[in-house]
């Protein structure tokens, strides 16, 4: 099925509704590069999103797509992947969608470890609804909705993922496109649930975490780091200040969901016919 | 015909195994050729409390549960205290010698079972009760012996032999007792094979017959056992059954599975369904064929978690923001649970819309005898579209006359399948073009016209122009049919109009009958008459008389007759 001649152009060029300078532009380009670089043609990919500015990304790409409900990208993607294990399933959404509204699904997705990828556009603010605090907004950050400063502690997705022994935990930055393309490709290739949290500045509503702010702090994790080392991974995950590590923090080596589930071994659901002979046998057990 | 049924009520604390006794006895009766309707009443606890398993049985059709008791099997003293007033004249009480009945047992036709003598191990008490019951009813012990062999097959010959010995000892002991209980008349001939199923099992089997291959759920009584039945048969049938982190995930997961080629069902109860409502709207927008099962229990909020009610018709009718078509089925029997589930999938697939099965705790848990299903006569459902004719120009939401668009599955051709929860163009992408918006609303609602055409007419039992027309929906059918018989016996002509599909309504199918009825009484398991209001809203017909039950117990013929006394 894998075509060797896929190019980023196959994923098309579309006019977007994003602000000039938004980190989403770079992320979209990286996504097309990453997928075409993996030899995946648009029809082999299913992008599933929630709602938000980030969740619009697949609209600007040729691919199969389900735009679902705010916060519900992951369960929708889970259902799709279980229905057709041959599809490359990627969920793309923002920090509010994924860590706020969909927080329980995020935890469940890590536990379940279905072979799919989650790309989180993490800009520390709600963009679509114009500037309220998101789960990753720093404590004290003043917004129109939090005039006395965000009163709650920020969510640390990397630390939570490492604590839960997630299969693949990485962080990228839209200002480091080559590095990000590599992370996305590693994540998609990874067998199991993979998380890539991507810093990307919101130029309209987040005046704190600007492009320069991220650029100054992001530091690539060096090749000496062993992603299988959970303690070191946790140390990296907790590093969030003057320096923030980007790259692959952790890989747990857990087996992907379903390897031991008989119903999933029968292939895509769309190819199955009602098995009336088997059903007759089942009915007999109620005589 | 007069009521010739008998009722065996097994009562005790949760954890005493009364369901095991009840199920084996019910199955033996069905195999022997008797009609059976079981009603289960239980409390929201795993141990203790007071639970009952009531088997109503006889040679004539048994429609519903009822309030009388002929044989009371008391596993504890409370059972006798709570149910002694339901005993019919000549009814008997069977209780272990160890149960202290010094306060509640006076004046009863009471048989004390010497279980210590008859059963070497306490674990055999359930089998003991079976042997005693079989003898009391003058039933052949052979059927029970076969059942026990099947039940304990996996535990080895020794366990089988021990249980058979206890069964025989109990049977023989009972045969020497003078209890005066009249034998059940023997079944006239060797019956054909019949199934014993409860409503939830029949729904699961109906789903499998329709090719359902995906079920996501979050446990909630009394809906859970639909999913548990699918899970139990998943190895044989290949069904993907996933317990989600919450109901919100369960519903969205199913939407994703269907979009990717699955055929999915989501079982729950009212409170869980409340959490799924946003995804119902999503299924409306993405035109996702998806079947929801809502097994009702009394609300609001946690309500009476293990009791029954028909209080969520309004919830299911209006669940989901925005306007989109849907169908709602309400089976009246276990058999209908099977066929209407198949129909629900057929309608969901045909009209690419969410479809609902509305049942309740009584029906979900009620075991009944069911004739083998005519699988070969079931209509075939449309197969998923894997390769659209021209993949390059494929449009998932193409405008068509009937509103039904080709529904391709992503990944099987080069067609790109795009589905957006925003208002979208024919190719599925977000739009704010307001002309397109108007076209898309019309397209979606057009599918509803087809659903109206395909609506199942309400079933009518009895003559037009009867003195009383009992109108009901869902699980209330049996009680209404029995009430009709009682009324006819007392010299009043009566008819029943039962809605097994409560939405959409096609007024031509029933309004003339309602309008010409001398007295139309709507019988519902809720406090506000939700079907009556719906019918008034849709047709203008006003029910002057309602019989409503909302104490958590199933509607019985006796309840309806008591209600009619105040009306007629």
Query: CB distance from A280 to chain B under 8 Å?
Result: yes
Query: Does residue B385 fall inside a structural domain?
Result: no
Closest CA relative to residue B437, chosen from B423, B427, B448 = B423
**pLDDT number for residue B203:** 98
A85: closest chain B residue by CA: B260
Choose among B241, B249, B375: nearest Cβ to A276. Answer: B375
Residues A286, B214: C-beta atoms closer than 8 Å: no
B28: closest chain A residue by CA: A287
B408: closest chain A residue by CA: A270
pLDDT tens for A54-67 read 999 999 999 999 99
Residue in the structure block whose two tokens are 């119903």: A263
Give me the mean pLDDT over the A93-121 stretch. Answer: 97
Q: Say if residues B73 and B136 touch (Cβ distance below 8 Å).
A: no
B370 C-beta neighbours (distance < 10 Å), count: 24
Range of the domain at B361: 196-377
Q: Say whether the ipTM exceeds 0.95.
A: yes
Domain chopping of chain A, boundaries: 8-259
Q: Tell how many helices (H) and how many strands (E) occur in chain B.
A: 19, 21
**pLDDT number for residue A4:** 59
Percentage, residues of chain B above pLDDT 90: 88
How far, in whole angstroms, is CA B519 from its chain's centroid? 29
Domain final position from B453, B473, B500: B453
Measured between alpha carbons, how far is B150 from B146 in angstroms, rounded to an integer? 6
Q: Please give, one letter per residue, the 3-state secondary structure of A152-218.
A: CCCCCHHHHHHHCCCCEEEEEECCCHHHHHHHHHHHHHCCCCEEEEEECCCCCCCCCCCHHHHHHHE
**pLDDT number for residue A3:** 46
Residues B415, A275: C-beta atoms closer than 8 Å: no
Q: Say if residues A238 and A93 touch (Cβ distance below 8 Å).
A: no
Query: CB distance from A2 to chain B under 8 Å?
Result: no
**pLDDT number for residue A92:** 96
Measured between alpha carbons, how far is B480 from B472 in angstroms, rounded to an integer? 7
Measured between alpha carbons, how far is B542 from B539 in angstroms, rounded to an integer? 9
Terminal Cα distance for chain A, rounded? 46
**Residue A233, CA distances (Å) to A244, A250, A256, B260, B428 in order:** 13, 6, 20, 35, 41
Q: Say if residues B258 and B216 touch (Cβ distance below 8 Å).
A: no
Measured between alpha carbons, how far is B456 from A274 in angstroms, rounded to an integer? 24
Q: Which stretches does DSSP call E strand in B97-131?
A: 110-113
Average pLDDT value for chain A: 95
3-state helix, strand, coil in chain A (%, to 5): 40, 15, 45
Residue in the structure block whose two tokens are 């379940």: A112
Contacts of A260 in chain B (CB under 8 A): none
Residues B398 and B346 in one domain: no
Domain final position from B453, B471, B504: B453
pLDDT tens for B267-309 read 999 999 999 999 999 999 999 999 999 999 999 999 999 999 9
Q: What is the dihedral of CA B389, B393, B398, B404, to 10 degrees?
A: 20
Closest CA relative to residue A103, chosen from A65, A131, A75, A129 = A75
How far, in whole angstroms, is CA B407 from its chain's centroid? 31
Tokens of A136: 């990753």
Q: Is 60 exceeded by the pLDDT of residue B108? A: yes
Query: Does residue B184 fall inside a structural domain?
Result: no
Q: Say if residues B257 and A83 touch (Cβ distance below 8 Å).
A: yes
Q: Say if residues A51 and A69 touch (Cβ distance below 8 Å).
A: yes
Measured between alpha carbons, how far is B119 from B168 in angstroms, rounded to an integer? 10
Choose among B194, B261, B375: nearest Cβ to A269. Answer: B261
B92 beta partners: B71
pLDDT tens for B137-160 read 988 899 999 999 999 999 999 999
Q: Is 80 exceeded by the pLDDT of residue A1? A: no
Residues B244 and B336 in one domain: yes
Residues B397, B398, B399: CA angle, nearest 5 degrees: 110
B472 φ, ψ (degrees, to nearest 5): -150, 175
Q: Say if residues B290 and B264 touch (Cβ distance below 8 Å).
A: yes
Residues 84-123 on A with a CB inside 8 Å of B are 84, 86-87, 104-105, 107-108
Contacts of A274 in chain B (CB under 8 A): 208-211, 381
Residues B353 and B204 in one domain: yes
Give me the mean pLDDT over the B92-105 stretch. Answer: 90
Q: Please list, in sequence order, all residues whose beta carbon lies within 8 angstroms of the beta carbon of residue A34, skipping any fewer than 6 positions away.
A: A180, A181, A184, A185, A188
Residues B332 and B447 in one domain: no
Q: Say if residues B19 and B73 touch (Cβ distance below 8 Å).
A: no
Tokens of B240: 């993907």
Provide the number of structural domains found in chain B.
4
Give the strands of the sheet with B240-243, arranged side by side: B240-243, B214-217, B264-268, B290-296, B354-360, B327-329, B501-503
Give me the mean pLDDT over the B219-227 stretch. Answer: 97
B282 C-beta neighbours (distance < 10 Å), count: 26
Q: Where do runs of H (alpha helix) occur along B268-388?
A: 270-286, 313-318, 334-351, 361-365
Strands A194-199 and A117-122: parallel
Residues B416 and B490 in one domain: no
Average pLDDT value for chain B: 95
Measured between alpha carbons, how far is B369 from A122 in angstroms, rounded to an integer? 58
Measured between alpha carbons, how far is A51 from B565 in angstroms, rounded to an integer? 57
Closest CA relative to residue B257, chosen from B270, B246, B274, B244 = B244
Query: CB distance from A161 to chain B under 8 Å?
Result: no
Choose among B195, B391, B422: nearest Cβ to A67. Answer: B422
Q: Is 60 exceeded by the pLDDT of residue B15? A: yes
Give the CATH number for residue B471. 3.40.50.920
- DSSP class per residue in A238-264: H--SS-EEEEEEEE--PPPTTTT-GGG
> CATH second-level architecture of A8-259?
3-Layer(aba) Sandwich (3.40)
Q: Say if residues A193 and A161 touch (Cβ distance below 8 Å).
A: no
Q: Say if residues B72 and B43 touch (Cβ distance below 8 Å).
A: no
Residues B545 and B531 in one domain: yes
Residues B414 and B489 in one domain: no
Choose among B193, B209, B416: nearest Cβ to A64. Answer: B416
Residues A42, B242: C-beta atoms closer than 8 Å: no
Query: CB distance from A59 to chain B under 8 Å?
Result: yes
Query: Does residue B191 fall inside a structural domain?
Result: no
Q: Say if residues A141 and A151 touch (Cβ distance below 8 Å).
A: no
- How many CB contacts within 8 angstroms connect chain A with chain B? 206
pLDDT tens for B170-222 read 999 999 998 888 888 888 777 789 999 999 999 999 999 999 999 999 999 99
Residues B446 and B472 in one domain: no
Give the strands of the sheet with B110-113, arranged side by side: B110-113, B87-96, B69-74, B6-14, B48-58, B35-41, B368-370, B195-197
Measured between alpha carbons, how far is B230 from B204 in angstroms, rounded to an integer? 6
3-state helix, strand, coil in chain B (%, to 5): 40, 20, 40
A271 C-beta neighbours (distance < 10 Å), count: 15
Q: Please list, in sequence order, all residues whose beta carbon lies within 8 angstroms of the beta carbon of residue B123, skipping any fewer than 6 positions away.
A: none
How far, in whole angstroms, is CA B327 from its chain's centroid? 18
Query: CB distance from A41 to chain B under 8 Å?
Result: yes
Residues B500 and B553 in one domain: yes
Residues B306 and B406 in one domain: no
Q: Say if residues B266 and B254 touch (Cβ distance below 8 Å).
A: yes
Give the CATH number for residue B230. 3.40.50.970
Residues B429 and B445 in one domain: yes
Contacts of B373 in chain A (CB under 8 A): 283
Give the CATH number for residue B26. 3.40.920.10
Residue in the structure block whose two tokens are 């530091």: A219
Measured between alpha carbons, how far is A24 from A211 in angstroms, rounded to an integer? 12
Q: Is 80 exceeded by the pLDDT of residue B244? A: yes
Residues A42, B416: C-beta atoms closer than 8 Å: yes
Residue A67 Cα, gap to closest chain B Cα (Å): 5
Mutate one of A42, A64, A257 to test the B interface: name it (highest B CB count within 10 A).
Answer: A64
Contacts of B264 in chain A (CB under 8 A): 79
Give me the mean pLDDT over the B70-98 stretch. Answer: 94
Q: Is 60 exceeded by the pLDDT of residue B37? A: yes
Residues B217 and B363 in one domain: yes
Label residue B14 by pLDDT band (50, 70, 90).
Answer: confident
- DSSP class per residue in A73-107: HHHHHHHHHHH-TTSEEEEEEEHIIIIIITHHHHH
pLDDT tens for B229-243 read 999 999 999 999 999
């Amino acid at each position: 099925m894998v075509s060797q001649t896929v190019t980023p152009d196959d994923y098309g060029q579309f006019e977007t509704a994003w602000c000039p300078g938004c980190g989403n532009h770079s992320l979209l380009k990286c996504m097309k590069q990453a997928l075409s670089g993996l030899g995946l043609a648009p029809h082999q990919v299913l992008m599933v999103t929630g709602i938000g500015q980030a969740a619009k990304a697949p609209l600007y790409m040729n691919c199969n797509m389900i735009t679902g409900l705010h916060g519900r990208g992951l369960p929708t993607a889970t259902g799709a992947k279980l229905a057709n294990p041959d599809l490359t399933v990627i969920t793309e959404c923002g920090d509010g969608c994924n860590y706020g509204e969909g927080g329980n699904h995020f935890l469940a997705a890590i536990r379940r470890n279905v072979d799919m990828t989650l790309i989180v556009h993490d800009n520390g603010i709600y963009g679509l609804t114009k500037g309220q605090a998101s789960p990753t907004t720093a404590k004290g950050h003043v917004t129109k909705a939090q005039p006395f400063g965000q009163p709650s502690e920020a969510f640390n997705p990397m630390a939570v993922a490492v604590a839960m022994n997630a299969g693949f935990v990485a962080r990228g930055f839209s200002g480091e496109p080559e590095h990000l393309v590599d992370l996305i490709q590693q994540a998609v290739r990874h067998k199991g649930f993979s998380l890539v949290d991507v810093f990307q500045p919101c130029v309209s509503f987040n005046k704190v975490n600007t492009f320069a702010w991220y650029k100054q702090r992001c530091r690539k994790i060096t090749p000496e780091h062993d992603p299988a080392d959970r303690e070191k991974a946790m140390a990296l995950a907790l590093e969030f200040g003057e320096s923030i590590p980007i790259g692959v923090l952790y890989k747990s080596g857990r087996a992907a969901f379903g390897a031991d589930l008989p119903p999933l071994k029968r292939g895509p659901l769309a190819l199955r016919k009602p098995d009336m002979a088997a059903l007759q046998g089942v009915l007999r057990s109620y005589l | 015909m007069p009521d010739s049924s008998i009722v065996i009520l097994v009562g005790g604390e949760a954890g005493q195994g009364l369901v095991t006794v009840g199920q084996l006895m019910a199955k033996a009766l069905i195999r022997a050729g008797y009609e059976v309707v079981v009603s289960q009443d239980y409390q929201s606890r795993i141990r203790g409390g007071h639970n009952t398993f009531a088997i109503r049985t006889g040679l004539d059709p048994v429609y519903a549960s009822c309030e009388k008791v002929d044989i009371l099997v008391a596993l504890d003293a409370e059972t006798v205290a709570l149910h002694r007033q339901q005993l019919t004249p000549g009814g008997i009480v069977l209780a272990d010698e160890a149960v202290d009945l010094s306060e509640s047992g006076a004046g009863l036709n009471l048989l004390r079972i010497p279980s210590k003598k008859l059963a070497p191990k306490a674990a055999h008490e359930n089998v003991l009760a079976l042997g005693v019951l079989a003898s009391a009813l003058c039933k052949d012990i052979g059927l029970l012996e076969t059942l026990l062999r099947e039940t304990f097959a996996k535990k080895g010959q020794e366990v089988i032999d021990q249980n058979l010995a206890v069964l025989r000892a109990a049977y023989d002991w009972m045969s020497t007792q003078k209890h005066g209980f009249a034998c059940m008349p023997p079944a006239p001939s060797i019956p054909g094979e019949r199934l014993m199923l409860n409503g939830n099992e029949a729904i699961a089997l109906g789903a499998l017959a329709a090719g359902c291959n995906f079920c996501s759920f979050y446990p909630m009584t009394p809906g859970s056992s639909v999913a548990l039945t699918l899970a139990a048969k998943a190895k044989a049938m290949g069904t993907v059954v996933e317990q989600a982190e919450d109901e919100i995930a369960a519903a969205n997961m199913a939407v994703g599975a269907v979009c990717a080629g699955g055929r999915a069902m989501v079982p729950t109860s009212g409170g869980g369904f409340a959490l799924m409502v946003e995804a119902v709207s999503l299924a409306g927008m993405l035109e996702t064929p998806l079947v929801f099962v809502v097994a009702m229990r009394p609300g609001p909020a946690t309500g009476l978690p293990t009791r029954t009610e028909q209080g969520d018709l309004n919830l299911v009718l209006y669940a989901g923001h925005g306007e989109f078509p849907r169908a709602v089925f309400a089976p009246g029997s276990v058999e209908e649970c099977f066929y209407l589930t198949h129909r629900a999938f057929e309608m969901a697939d045909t009209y690419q819309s969410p479809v609902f099965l509305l049942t309740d705790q009584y029906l979900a848990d009620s075991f009944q005898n069911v004739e083998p299903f005519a699988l070969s006569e079931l209509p075939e459902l449309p197969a998923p579209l894997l390769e659209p004719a021209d993949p390059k120009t494929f449009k998932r939401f193409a405008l068509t006359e009937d509103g039904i668009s080709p529904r391709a599955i992503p990944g099987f051709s080069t067609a790109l399948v795009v589905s957006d929860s925003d208002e979208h163009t024919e190719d599925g992408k977000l739009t704010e073009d307001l002309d397109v918006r108007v076209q898309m609303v019309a397209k979606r609602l057009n599918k509803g016209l087809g659903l109206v055409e395909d609506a199942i007419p309400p079933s009518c039992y009895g003559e037009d122009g009867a003195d009383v027309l009992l109108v009901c929906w869902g699980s209330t059918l049996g009680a209404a049919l029995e009430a009709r018989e009682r009324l006819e016996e007392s010299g009043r002509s009566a008819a029943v109009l039962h809605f097994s599909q409560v939405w959409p309504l096609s007024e031509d199918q029933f309004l003339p009958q309602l309008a010409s009825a001398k007295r139309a009484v709507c019988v519902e398991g809720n406090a506000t008459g939700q079907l009556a209001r719906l019918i008034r809203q849709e047709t203008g017909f006003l029910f002057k008389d309602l019989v409503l039950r909302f104490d958590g117990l199933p509607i019985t013929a006796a309840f309806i007759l008591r209600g009619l006394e105040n009306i007629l």
